[in-house]
């Protein structure tokens, strides 16, 4: 079911863009991209690691909900500028996109100006990967603009150094996440489904959620379980279906209204309903838009809801770049 590393390299390497011979910079200097969100189709926390992170297994799935990025490069001057229409997002080194630009410039030896403008639609602190997808999309956009592309291994290493969820957005579609989530493998895509995403208006601290969810886990007690990939019974690899997210034990205890919403969505006909990541967003997958429309009426007043769909890998890469 998993693609081999060679196939992963082929997927990433096939996106390579090279400038014409003898021309240092001929591609457009500004590019506009869609930065897609993700959901987690199951998430198992297996043990605490010696580096302070938790070992996990998850299946990521990209969806159509997206932010928009406009990236510009210039050889005149030397500065990084990141602007966002959401005032809660810092413009400087505290912004993951800013750090992405710094890291890419260092790796590629870029000495010019870099500017990124972000238009946010993905809610902050929702478990939908908003910051991580912006970082990965920035890498892809900078490579597209400059024509200077890292090899697959170096690109994955750069993304993993920026955050655990960043590498998955270099692949898109349905992706297996191992390690702390940064070790990714493309899975065979399943047919697209209608996706309802609900954000209750509050965020969940990822660090606190991991701390509470990891209580009682030891460093070595489940190492054999990890090595044998024993978490697979919790992941329906061949079809959509129920998948367990260990963070629900923590988040649903604190916010029972989210647990109640999940039950309502399942009764409304959802093939899958789950917390995504460490929350706070909940999603539901439906086979028809009519089912999704009926289920959307269950959302409490004041909560945000997004009607979208799951994105397979080919469509993900095709839709990244705006015309």
- The alpha carbon of 283 is separated from its chain's Cα centroid by a whole number of angstroms, namely 14
Q: Which one from 38, 44, 48, 262 is the annotated catalytic residue? A: 38
Q: For the purposes of burial, counting CB atoms within 10 Å of the CB of 121, is it exposed (0-12), middle (13-18) or buried (19 or more)?
A: middle
Q: What sign for the dihedral angle of Cα 163, 152, 64, 56?
A: negative
Beta bridge partners of 83: 117
**Residue among 39, 67, 58, 205 at smallest CA distance from 136:** 67
Catalytic residue, candidates 67, 165, 189, 246: 165
Sign of CA dihedral 174, 177, 182, 184: negative
In contact, 58 and 246? CB cutoff 8 Å = no
Q: Is 165 a catalytic residue?
A: yes
Tell me, yes or no, if 148 is annotated catalytic. Answer: no
- Which residues on neighbouring strands pair with residue 174, listed in sequence order? 61
In contact, 210 and 45? CB cutoff 8 Å: yes
Give catalytic residue positions. 38, 165
């Amino acid at each position: 079911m998993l693609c081999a590393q060679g196939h992963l390299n082929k997927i990433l390497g096939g996106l390579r863009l090279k400038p014409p011979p003898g021309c240092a910079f001929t591609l457009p200097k500004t590019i506009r991209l869609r930065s897609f969100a993700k959901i987690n189709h199951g998430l198992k926390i297996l043990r605490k690691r010696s580096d302070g992170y938790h070992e996990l297994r998850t299946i990521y799935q990209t969806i159509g909900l997206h932010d928009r990025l406009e990236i510009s490069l210039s050889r005149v001057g030397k500065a990084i500028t990141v602007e966002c229409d959401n005032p809660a997002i810092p413009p400087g080194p505290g912004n993951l996109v800013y750090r992405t630009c710094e890291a890419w410039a260092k790796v590629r030896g870029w000495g010019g100006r870099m500017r990124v403008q972000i238009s946010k639609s993905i809610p902050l602190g929702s478990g939908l990967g908003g910051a991580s997808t912006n970082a990965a999309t920035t890498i892809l956009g900078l490579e597209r603009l400059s024509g200077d592309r890292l090899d697959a291994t170096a690109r994955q290493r750069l993304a993993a150094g920026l955050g655990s969820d960043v590498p998955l957005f270099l692949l898109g579609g349905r992706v297996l996440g191992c390690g702390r989530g940064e070790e990714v493998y493309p899975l065979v895509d399943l047919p697209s489904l209608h996706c309802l995403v609900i954000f209750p208006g509050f965020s969940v601290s990822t660090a606190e959620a991991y701390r509470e969810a990891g209580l009682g886990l030891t460093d070595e007690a489940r190492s054999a379980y990890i090595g044998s990939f024993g978490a697979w019974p919790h992941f329906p690899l061949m079809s959509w279906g129920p998948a367990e997210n260990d963070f629900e034990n923590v988040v649903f205890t604190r916010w029972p209204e989210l647990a109640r919403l999940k039950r309502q969505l399942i009764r409304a006909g959802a093939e899958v309903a789950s917390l995504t990541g460490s929350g706070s967003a909940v999603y539901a997958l439906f086979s028809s838009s009519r089912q999704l429309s009926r289920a959307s009426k269950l959302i409490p007043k004041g909560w945000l809801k997004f009607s979208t769909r799951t994105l397979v890998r080919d469509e993900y890469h095709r839709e990244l770049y705006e015309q």
